[in-house]
């Protein structure tokens, strides 16, 4: 580039010199020689100045382009930082939703045996990797949580990460399929890579049934490639398994691809049931902890009234009960605490969301599946039928 600039300058100078020589040749003997020479010198100076301006501008342009590049890089870095601040890690073009959960098992009501199993498979290996190595214990068997929607599968997986200070990466398969169209496989790789970078990490696959083939139906095109990529990545975790542990969840266990349930993948199945009486009482307590409630509220009565409700239904009831005194206060009434009547009023309108899931589980059971999920599903359907169906059915 510099060589080219010098060449241009040289040509201009040569042009000026030749011009001067020609003019001198014609006008040497004439009387206005001095004036003409001064004129020529002035023109030469002007030409040199113009040339200098021209090259300075080119340099200036280059500087501007360099600055634009730097600014662009800064903008991309800022955008990525913003994505991370809003709950994600930017990995290539994908926004990987990675978090550091601030809840632990003490925030999860009930589910005693599920907590114990997750502790054994995930929490203890993360907390004591060297002990596991010393005693030759195998780490990294993926867990598949299954059960009705809104009963705490995602919540307990997040709490498990909080329990041992791990990062939590929640990958909703439907998001991968819809938002990442055409880039799904690349984004799965990006997700595993982000999980490694932020290790220890719990990698959580929600709605894992969305990439499953239903009972032997063959997968096609894009979905097949996605399942393959997921399996490659899962199997590839073989080495660093003590750093990234996997959990998956489904509301439709009967639809999960059998390839995903092989040893080394999600071979351990854990049922996450609807909350029992004590769990419901505890959920009311947990989700009103930071709300102004009347001291005489009887959580046992609320638990009795919500038989057959999911944990998410109860969380919603707590939220909506708070809206009643809030609306009154906004309209000018004196702010008051949330009363048991506020909860009861909301419950009149909000029924359990579980009956439709129970019906589809029942349909699946009628198909005569021979599976280890059979017993749990049969038990829960039976239990549900014992509830006051008039109250629970929408
Ligand atoms: P799922 O993944 O099974 O569909 P979630 O884990 O998303 O359900 O649960 C929905 C919400 O219900 C959670 O965000 C949480 O507020 C509440 N919740 C679920 N299970 C519990 C629990 N055991 N204790 C307290 N809150 C719970």
Q: Looking at the domain assignment, is residue 133 inside a domain? A: yes
Structural domain boundaries, residue 388: 277-392
Quote the CA–CA distance of 147 and 251 in Å, as a whole number: 5
* 310 Cα to the center of ligand 1, angstroms: 8
Domain count of the fold of the chain: 3
Q: Looking at the domain assignment, is residue 92 inside a domain? A: no
Q: Do residue 75 and residue 134 come from a single domain? A: no
Do you know the residue count of the chain?
394
Q: Do residue 265 and residue 116 come from a single domain? A: yes
Backbone angles phi and psi of 103, in degrees to 5 = -115, 155
Q: Looking at the domain assignment, is residue 342 inside a domain? A: yes
Ligand 1 in reach of 314 Cβ (< 6 A) = no
Q: Do residue 329 and residue 367 come from a single domain? A: yes
From 31, 51, 83, the end of a domain falls on 83
Q: Do residue 111 and residue 259 come from a single domain? A: yes
Quote the CA–CA distance of 279 and 304 in Å, as a whole number: 11
Q: Do residue 213 and residue 319 come from a single domain? A: no
Ligand 1 in reach of 233 Cβ (< 6 A) = no
Q: What are the tens digits of pLDDT across the range 213-265?
A: 544 455 566 677 777 787 788 777 655 556 888 899 999 988 887 778 887 78
pTM: 0.74
In 3D, which of 208, 213, 91 has the Cα closest to residue 154? 208
Ligand 1 in reach of 312 Cβ (< 6 A) = yes
Q: Looking at the domain assignment, is residue 374 inside a domain? A: yes
Element at 2 (helix H, strand E): helix 2-27
Ligand 1 in reach of 148 Cβ (< 6 A) = no
pLDDT at position 69, please?
60
Quote the CA–CA distance of 120 and 132 in Å, as a whole number: 11
From 58, 83, 108, the end of a domain falls on 83
Ligand 1 in reach of 111 Cβ (< 6 A) = yes
Q: Find tokens 């590049």 and name the residue.
A: 69
* Chain-centroid distance, C-alpha 63: 39
Quote the CA–CA distance of 102 and 116 in Å, as a whole number: 20
Q: Do residue 105 and residue 192 come from a single domain? A: yes
- The sign one gets for the Cα dihedral 246, 247, 252, 258 is positive
Q: Do residue 246 and residue 347 come from a single domain? A: no
The answer to whether the beta carbons of residues 168 and 98 sit under 8 Å apart is: yes
CATH number where 372 lies: 1.10.8.60
Quote the CA–CA distance of 325 and 87 in Å, as a whole number: 32
Which segments of the chain have a pLDDT < 70?
A: 1-9, 23-34, 55-56, 59-95, 178-182, 212-222, 237-242, 369-371, 387-394
Cα torsion 204, 210, 212, 214 to 10°: value is 140
Q: Do residue 79 and residue 120 come from a single domain? A: no
pLDDT at position 159, please?
97
Q: What are the tens digits of pLDDT across the range 265-303?
A: 888 899 999 999 999 999 999 999 999 999 989 999 999
Q: Do residue 200 and residue 64 come from a single domain? A: no
Q: What is the CA radius of gyration of the chain?
A: 35
Q: Do residue 380 and residue 325 come from a single domain? A: yes
Q: Looking at the domain assignment, is residue 183 inside a domain? A: yes
CA separation, residue 18 to residues 15, 30, 40, 181, 217 (Å) = 5, 19, 11, 67, 87
Quote the CA–CA distance of 96 and 70 in Å, as a whole number: 25
Ligand 1 in reach of 252 Cβ (< 6 A) = no
From 59, 83, 107, the end of a domain falls on 83
Q: Do residue 149 and residue 130 come from a single domain? A: yes
CA separation, residue 343 to residues 183, 274, 298, 324 (Å) = 46, 20, 11, 9
pLDDT at position 88, please?
56
pLDDT at position 95, please?
66
At 27, list the tokens.
Answer: 């006008």
What is 59-77 written as a DSSP string? HHHHHHHHHHHHHHHHHHH
The answer to whether the beta carbons of residues 63 and 10 sit under 8 Å apart is: no
Q: Looking at the domain assignment, is residue 93 inside a domain? A: no
Q: Do residue 133 and residue 197 come from a single domain? A: yes
Q: Looking at the domain assignment, is residue 88 inside a domain? A: no
pLDDT at position 392, please?
46
Q: Looking at the domain assignment, is residue 222 inside a domain? A: yes
Tell me the three state secondary structure of residue 149: coil
The answer to whether the beta carbons of residues 373 and 253 sit under 8 Å apart is: yes
Q: Which of 99, 289, 311 to mutate to test the pocket of ligand 1 (most atoms within 8 A of CB)?
A: 311
């Amino acid at each position: 580039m510099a060589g080219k600039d010098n060449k241009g300058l040289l040509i201009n100078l040569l042009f000026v010199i030749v011009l001067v020589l020609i003019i001198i040749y014609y006008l040497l003997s004439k009387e206005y020689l001095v004036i003409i020479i001064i004129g020529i010198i002035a023109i030469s100076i002007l030409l040199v100045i113009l040339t200098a301006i021209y090259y300075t501008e080119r340099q200036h342009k280059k500087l501007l382009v360099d600055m634009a590049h730097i600014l662009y890089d800064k903008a991309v870095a800022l955008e990525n930082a913003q994505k991370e601040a809003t709950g994600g890690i930017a990995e290539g073009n994908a926004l990987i939703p990675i978090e550091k959960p601030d809840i632990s098992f003490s925030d999860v009501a009930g589910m005693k045996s599920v907590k114990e199993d997750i502790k054994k498979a995930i929490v203890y290996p993360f907390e004591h990797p060297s002990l596991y190595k010393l005693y030759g214990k195998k780490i990294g068997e993926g867990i598949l949580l299954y059960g009705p929607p809104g009963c705490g599968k995602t919540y307990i997986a997040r709490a498990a990460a909080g329990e041992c200070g791990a990062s939590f990466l929640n990958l909703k398969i439907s998001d991968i399929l819809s938002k990442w169209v055409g880039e799904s496989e690349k984004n799965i790789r990006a997700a595993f890579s982000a999980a490694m970078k932020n290790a220890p990490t719990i990698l959580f696959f929600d709605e894992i049934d969305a990439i499953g083939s239903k009972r032997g139906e063959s997968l096609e095109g894009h979905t097949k490639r996605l399942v393959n990529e997921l399996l490659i990545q899962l199997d590839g975790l073989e080495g660093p398994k003590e750093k990234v542990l996997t959990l998956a969840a489904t509301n439709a266990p009967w639809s999960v691809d059998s390839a995903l349930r092989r040893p080394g993948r999600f071979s351990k199945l854990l049922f996450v049931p609807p909350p029992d009486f004590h769990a419901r009482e505890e959920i009311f307590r947990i989700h009103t902890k930071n709300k102004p409630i009347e001291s005489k509220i009887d959580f046992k009565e609320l638990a009795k009234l919500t038989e057959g409700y999911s944990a998410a239904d109860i969380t919603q009831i707590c939220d909506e009960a708070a809206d009643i005194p809030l609306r009154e206060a906004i309209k000018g009434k004196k702010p008051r605490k949330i009363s048991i009547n506020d909860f009861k009023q909301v419950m009149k309108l909000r029924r359990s969301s579980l009956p439709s899931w129970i019906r589809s589980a029942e349909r699946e059971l009628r198909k005569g599946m021979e599976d280890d999920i059979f017993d749990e599903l049969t038990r829960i359907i039976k239990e549900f039928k014992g509830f006051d169906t008039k109250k629970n059915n929408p």
